[in-house]
Amino acid sequence: MTLLGDQIGTMGPALLRDYRAPFAQEFEYEDWSTAWRDRVHATYLQLAQRASEALLRSGATQQGIDVISRALVVDPAALDLEASLIMALLDSGATAAAAHQYAHFSRAYEEDLGVAPPSLSDLHTRKPDVWPALRRVSGSEGRG
Domains of the chain: 10-138 (1.25.40)
pLDDT at 135: 46
pLDDT at 138: 40
Instruction: Provide block-wise average pLDDT over 10 residues at a time, the chain (144 residues).
Output: 59 67 60 75 88 89 93 91 92 93 93 88 66 46 37
What are the φ/ψ torsions at residue 109 (nearest 5 degrees)?
-60, -50
DSSP, collapsed to helix, strand or coil, labels residue 24 as coil
Q: CA-to-CA distance for 127 and 104, rounded, in angstroms?
A: 20
pLDDT at 21: 61
pLDDT at 142: 38
pLDDT at 143: 35
pLDDT at 10: 67
Helices (H), 58-131: 61-74, 79-92, 95-113, 120-125
DSSP 3-state helix, strand, coil percentages of the chain (rounded to 5)?
75, 0, 25
